[in-house]
Structure 1
Amino acid sequence: MDSVKIVLELIVVLGAIVMGTRSSGVALGLWGGAGVAVLVFVFGEDVGSPPVDALLIILSVVLASSMMQVAGGIDWMVTIAADLIAKRPKQITLIAPLVSFLFSVGAGTSNILYPLLPVIYDASYRNGIRPSRPLSLSVVATGVALACSPVSAAMAAMVTLTDVAPYNFELIDIIMITLPAAVIGIILSSIVVNRLGKDIEDDPEIQARIASGAIAAPSGGMSTVELKSSTAGRNAALIFLLGVAAIVVFGLFKGIRPEAADGSPMGMTPIIEMIMFLVGTLILLVSRPNVADVPTSSVFKAGMVSAIALFGLAWLTDTFISAHLELITSTVGDWVNAWPWIFALGVFLVCVLTTSQSTATRTIVPIGLAAGLAPGLLTGMWAGAFAGIYLLPTNGSQIAAANFDESGSTKLGTKLVDHSFFVPTLVLAVTTITAGSLIGLLLG
């Protein structure tokens, strides 16, 4: 009878995820919360713990980053990133993804990529490089970047799961694994991606567009894409990046943290929240953005959607896992310990289904931890699996990249697996998971 009950509850959990995914956005949170109600009122389970700490981190970070965006900080960061890309156009398949990755790490969001897409297209096409190569890998690289950012929603979810007893695996421990693993993955992936598709001079579709006058032939020279920046934006971005750096410093050196009530160093969760509120306040005082524009900014909207989705689904999975922890430990634990890649596959698939790294984190990471997977190994695989959000051509940045590519080389496909991002997603996932697993075993 117990086994039947568990199966029925699992169907409720999976059904909520599927229904939320079909509706997308805040519906993920709604279906998650509805699933909690079914488990509690129908099956009589104790209600789980909602991810309050993770939500508070997300809210503080979203507020600060939205203030930066409204002040023009993201525009200023984009101009700097564009300059870095333009300096080495012949190596753009490597440089563009690395720059997109690093700026996404610093900003804590992949939204910074959107204004960079026309720059990447223009610089690659003008220099005779098939635009789909740097565009596709740049998009996918921003996915794994959120596993390396101290201020991403996914990192907020991860820290609140691992920075507790008995794991005591802190923010800096995570970044020491995910950051080098992602960089290695991007470098190796660029070698593969640089061979995908025909060169411009050998591609009949691109040559037909040139012959018809739809697009000009590659001409070299400087980019014609105009980007805007301002002193207020520069100041806002620098304040935000200093805040990110301060979080890393506090993570590295426990001795400089304020003391908690028991005399031990304060945990990173309240420190991140305080620093982000301070950052937002300083941006308000120095750059004087229009606060009324904050709720309508793209960063704020995306952050609130992520928070709501995380709230519902994380609450649902916590309720289910808490009710059956012993079974998960004894059965799933054996599978994961025998074949650790099952954990990575789980994170990857939830990313594919929900296109949310923070949701995948709160859904699968607790299962991996309960199963006894070493935090270091778990972290390394977790980072690479984030590439999964781009396995299907349904993400906004993928659609934008295809639209900006006037040569037509970046395709969304018609069969779900024939789009320009499919191979880069798989290659970056495998290379980053492999590198992360090795680094995690060494450091974790």
Structure 2
Amino acid sequence: MIVLELLIVLGAIYLGARLGSIGIGFAGGFGVLLLALVGVKPGGMPIDVILIIMSVISAIAAMQVAGGMDLLVAATEKLLRKHPKYITYFAPLVTFFMTVMAGTGHTAFSTLPVIAEVAKEQGIRPSRPLSIAVVASQVAITASPISAAVVFFSGVMEPLGVDYLQVLLICIPTTLLAVILTSFVTNFLGEEMKDDPVYQARLEAGLVKLRGTQKIEILPHALRSVCIFAVAIVMVMLYATLISDKVGFIAKENIILSRDNAIIVFMMTAATSIALLCKIGATKVLNAPTFKSGMSACICVLGVAWLGTTFVAAHEAEIKALAGGVLQTMPWLLSVTLFFAAMLLYSQASTAKALMPMAIALGASPVTLVASFAAVSALFILPTYPTLLAAVEMDDTGSTRIGKYVFNHPFIIPGILTIFLSVVFGFAFGGIIL
């Protein structure tokens, strides 16, 4: 039966990948139904993760309607145009910090056209900055104080003596350092534009166009909306510090709001404040691009994570018997497992939700768990993730293209190297801090 159930799981994931976008969430729910029909009791739904995503996306969407995202994009374009020759180094830093601040990699959508345009103007192969920028936006999820993946992971680490602040203290510098080092390598990947036959053919056909600097209209309360959102993030981190066992400022019995509840409350309060103080129509939030992509992510997490937890919970004993002791002798195997799981589960939060509790049950050390956490960001392997596809579509030079063998695309090397370095640095930093 375990073989049949595994085939159902893999078949549902394959179907979801074929459907694309929100379809992977649909297929995950369908997979749970099939498992139930063969006698498997459904596992726990990732309700906590979904609620956090919904609240964060609501605040971001409100900020976008108020013009905050346009303000950030305009600042990004100004930065990149001021230092165009270094775009491969600056572009990933922009997408990294935007994701860290927003808790979602979908913020990269707004900056990708700017990155592609500035690279073209400088004769730099656009696939270089675009590829590492997309990868940076994915791995930054594991360093964001308000991402669902970090909140869930820090929650399961607390019983092991590792709190939220320690997770961030390790994950932020390790992933950032990995992105910076990888950007230097990425700057030498691929042919120069003058030697690329695909680009030359598209150039002769008149398919490559330069749009120049675009004037973005900044709404009156754009800066105010960004400040409100930034204050909410600071409040989340401050509250998490105050209730931390390591700080001990607020005793556990006196805590009224859990960290998860606090994030939801602060984000919803930020959305309310933006709606009131920036004078936006709340109904406009429903049509904001970030709101739509965020709600799509909720469905994907619901379906895929539920499918994963259903299968794992049903065979926890068998998995322990098969993998018992392995993580103690070869701790790096956890990062490899998370890497390939993320490729299929399509979400950092879903991967963490499905596999981290099992890794803890198998006896993985806290250092191994934290160091391997960055590997849940391997969403770039299959060229189906929205930001990856957007980068391909926005590069009319043809340099950011998916090869006929599917896996031979420009995101592979930067992605693998970034995660490899993040894990290596994670073991180093974790050994010192924990």
TM-score, normalization by structure 2: 0.89
Cα distance in structure 1, aligned partners of 2:314 and 2:202? 60
Cα distance in structure 2, aligned partners of 1:261 and 1:137? 42
Matches within 5 A, 1:100-249: 100-163=95-158, 166-207=159-200, 215=208, 224-249=213-238
- State the Cα deviation string for residues 283-342 of structure 1 (Å, max 9, x = none): 111112221122222222222222223233333433443444344334324223332233
Residue 54 of structure 2: which of 48, 54, 59 is its match? 59
Matches within 5 A, 1:68-87: 68-87=63-82
1:351 maps onto 2:342 in alignment: yes
Shift of 1:167: 2.3
Q: Residue 398 of structure 1 aligns with which residue? A: 388
Q: Residue 373 of structure 2 aligns with which residue? A: 382
Cα distance in structure 1, aligned partners of 2:421 and 2:157? 24
Matches within 5 A, 1:292-371: 292-371=283-362
Q: Does the CA contact (< 8 Å) of 1:329 and 1:372 recur in 2?
A: no
Shift of 1:75: 1.4
1:94 maps onto 2:94 in alignment: no
Q: Residue 416 of structure 2 aligns with which residue? A: 426
Query: Which amino acid letter does the alignment assign opposite residue 264 of structure 2?
Result: E
Secondary structure of residue in 1 paired with 2:254:
coil
Cα distance in structure 2, aligned partners of 1:267 and 1:333? 33
Secondary structure of residue in 2 paired with 1:129:
coil
- State the Cα deviation string for residues 159-196 of structure 1 (Å, max 9, x = none): 44334xx2253332221121111111111111211111
Cα distance in structure 1, aligned partners of 2:217 and 2:337? 41
Secondary structure of residue in 1 paired with 2:325:
helix
Q: Does the CA contact (< 8 Å) of 2:312 and 2:354 recur in 1?
A: no
- The alpha-carbon distance between structure 1 residues 230 and 191, as it changes in their structure 2 partners (threshold 3 A), is same
Residue 397 of structure 2: which of 372, 395, 407 is its match? 407
Cα distance in structure 1, aligned partners of 2:193 and 2:22? 42
- The alpha-carbon distance between structure 1 residues 212 and 269, as it changes in their structure 2 partners (threshold 3 A), is closer
Query: Which sits farther off after the overlay, 53-62 or 256-265?
Result: 256-265
Cα distance in structure 1, aligned partners of 2:53 and 2:207? 45
Cα distance in structure 1, aligned partners of 2:52 and 2:421? 30
Secondary structure of residue in 2 paired with 1:389:
coil
- The alpha-carbon distance between structure 1 residues 48 and 85, as it changes in their structure 2 partners (threshold 3 A), is same
- The alpha-carbon distance between structure 1 residues 425 and 74, as it changes in their structure 2 partners (threshold 3 A), is same
Query: Which amino acid letter does the alignment assign opposite residue 268 of structure 2?
Result: F
Secondary structure of residue in 2 paired with 1:227:
coil
- The alpha-carbon distance between structure 1 residues 161 and 314, as it changes in their structure 2 partners (threshold 3 A), is farther
Shift of 1:50: 2.2
- The alpha-carbon distance between structure 1 residues 312 and 327, as it changes in their structure 2 partners (threshold 3 A), is same
Secondary structure of residue in 1 paired with 2:383:
coil
Query: Which sits farther off after the overlay, 256-265 or 142-151?
Result: 256-265
Q: Among all aligned residue pairs of Structure 1 and Structure 2, give the percentage whose two residues are the same amino acid.
A: 33
Q: Residue 23 of structure 1 aligns with which residue? A: 19
Query: Which amino acid letter does the alignment assign opposite residue 431 of structure 1?
Result: L
Shift of 1:249: 1.9
Residue 261 of structure 2: which of 251, 254, 270 is its match? 270
Query: Which amino acid letter does the alignment assign opposite residue 284 of structure 2?
Result: D
Cα distance in structure 1, aligned partners of 2:92 and 2:131? 9
- State the Cα deviation string for residues 95-132 of structure 1 (Å, max 9, x = none): 11111111121122222222212221222232332222
Q: Does the CA contact (< 8 Å) of 2:305 and 2:350 recur in 1?
A: yes
- The alpha-carbon distance between structure 1 residues 207 and 324, as it changes in their structure 2 partners (threshold 3 A), is closer
- The alpha-carbon distance between structure 1 residues 410 and 18, as it changes in their structure 2 partners (threshold 3 A), is closer
- State the Cα deviation string for residues 316-373 of structure 1 (Å, max 9, x = none): 4334434443443343242233322332222222322243222222122222222121
Query: Which sits farther off after the overlay, 274-283 or 308-317?
Result: 308-317
Query: Which sits farther off after the overlay, 326-335 or 134-143?
Result: 326-335
TM-score, normalization by structure 1: 0.87
Q: Does the CA contact (< 8 Å) of 1:257 and 1:265 recur in 2?
A: no
Query: Which amino acid letter does the alignment assign opposite residue 137 of structure 2?
Result: T
Cα distance in structure 1, aligned partners of 2:358 and 2:340? 14
- State the Cα deviation string for residues 68-87 of structure 1 (Å, max 9, x = none): 12222211121122222223
Cα distance in structure 2, aligned partners of 1:159 and 1:239? 25
Shift of 1:239: 0.8
Secondary structure of residue in 2 paired with 1:393:
coil
Gaps of 5+ in 1: none
Shift of 1:198: 2.3
* Number of aligned positions between the proteins: 432
Cα distance in structure 1, aligned partners of 2:339 and 2:46? 21
Query: Which amino acid letter does the alignment assign opposite residue 232 of structure 1?
Result: H
- State the Cα deviation string for residues 196-239 of structure 1 (Å, max 9, x = none): 1222344455456556766589xxxx952333322322211211
Query: Which amino acid letter does the alignment assign opposite residue 424 of structure 2?
Result: T
- State the Cα deviation string for residues 402-435 of structure 1 (Å, max 9, x = none): 3332333222222213322222222222222222
